[in-house]
Amino acid sequence: MKIFFKPCALLMSRKILFPLFLLLLPLVLNAASGLWNSPLAGGPIAYTVTEAESPLKDYAGKYLTVVYLENLNFARIGQNSNADNVSWLLEQGYRVIELDYANHSNAVSPHINRDIIAINDALASGSFCGLSNSSTYRSYVLFEGYRIARDVAYFKDDPTVYNWPSGYTQGDSLYMDIIYPANPREPVPVVLSFSYSNSYATYDSNSGMMTDAQKHQRLYLPYTLGLFDDSFLEGAPARGIAWAIADHPKYCNWGSGKPTGGANDTYKSYQTNPDAAQKVKSAVRTLRAKSKELGLSGKIGIYGFSRGSDAGAMAVGDRFVPEFENAGLHIGLSDDVQAAALGPGVFDFTQIYNTTNDGDGNLETRCPWAWGPLNENFELWERMGAAYLVQTDLS
């Protein structure tokens, strides 16, 4: 009996272990680890890369990537475990790079922003944690406890506003990405930013077809965030704030666009109303409509930089303009915002001639092409800037 029992036990254990081995094998084969030099820590911290079984890729074939910062040194809002969140991200198709801070004393705001900048710089350059094929415009830094709602539509574009490129006749949707705490201890506010990289439709003259080559460029790291060491958005969760980034309302190359029948590149380097204001207000309403689903409080702040500041400023102000309000999604829901942090921008086009040779030559030359002479069309020019929407001290 003893001789017979031992082989049976061994056989049974093999029957159990072999399926378990097969179950774990994909995780082993799809995972890699190493050390990354953290500016915050002043030395190396451990990272683990796990590939999705069905990976998402951008138009260029690069992998959508989430850099997941874990074991930070402040109270987390999302109550799900890191294992659950990473598993969820992998199921969505993201490559996940986990950076383990091991509760380092500096893994708090604002020190964590140093690493966010370094991560974005590396992703933008095309080399991070030994990987050269992470997307440069669809990669995200997430704090532990957070997930992402990607490609949330907020407005359908009208191709006749900018009339660019030729062949673009069916309006695309504009989108935002929302980074939110999963299963939060309490609802959190959210800060919304409009990208300072433009997404737009692309016409391929070789195929005679429209392509998606320049869609979803709102987080184009070689410019947005990366070029300017901009860590405001992605660092917000360290202060208990979710964040969202939306396509810039000018759905067109920033240096192009013209009114119907107008001169080429009339709209070079600026946006126009009512289109911009309609889109911005629709984006705010869309974000507010998602609040309950995503554990957000409904309190929304605006952050803007460069052309994103021009756009975001359209959300600020208490003047009611029906033409601005009655377009897009969730009409009737409040598009008020509770706070704003705006960098330099053009908020009042009637002031652009106050100083000449100050870097806005495109506006000084081309705005009259779109709106006529300033002295003859002052009210129209005034409605193009966000300052017009500030009616009282309540703004």
Residues 340-395 pLDDT 10s: 999 999 999 999 999 888 888 999 999 999 999 999 999 999 999 999 999 988 77
150-160 pLDDT, tens digit each? 999 999 999 99
Q: What is the DSSP string of 203-259?
A: EETTTTEEE-TTTT-TT-TTTTTTTTT--HHHHGGGGT-EEEEE--S--S-TT----
Closest CA to 60 of 221, 257, 242, 215: 215
175-198 pLDDT, tens digit each? 999 999 999 999 999 999 999 999
- CATH of 146-395, picked from 3.10.450, 3.30.310, 3.40.1350, 3.40.50, is 3.40.50
Token reading at 147: 């997930």
Q: Which residues contact 108 (CB under 8 A, 6 or more apart)?
A: 72, 73, 74, 238
What distances in angstroms separate CA 98 from CA 22, 121, 153, 268, one per listed residue? 24, 17, 29, 41
* The pLDDT value given to residue 336: 97
Token reading at 220: 């184009």
In this structure, what DSSP letter does residue 62 have?
Answer: P
* The pLDDT value given to residue 358: 82
* The pLDDT value given to residue 303: 98
Residue 206 pLDDT level (bands cut at 50, 70, 90)? confident
pTM of the entire predicted model: 0.91
* The pLDDT value given to residue 311: 98
- What average pLDDT does the segment 200-208 reach? 91
Closest CA to 244 of 332, 310, 147, 314: 147
Amino acid at 393: D
pLDDT at residue 3 greater than cutoff 60: no
Closest CA to 311 of 339, 350, 283: 283
- Say which CATH class 33-144 falls into: alpha beta
Counting Cβ atoms within 10 Å, is residue 94 exposed (0-12), middle (13-18) or buried (19+)? buried
Could you tell me if 281 and 335 are in contact, meaning their C-beta atoms sit under 8 angstroms apart? Answer: yes
* The pLDDT value given to residue 244: 99
Q: Domain-by-domain residue ranges, the chain?
A: 33-144, 146-395
263-291 pLDDT, tens digit each? 999 999 999 999 999 999 999 999 999 99
Fold agreement (33-144, 146-395): yes
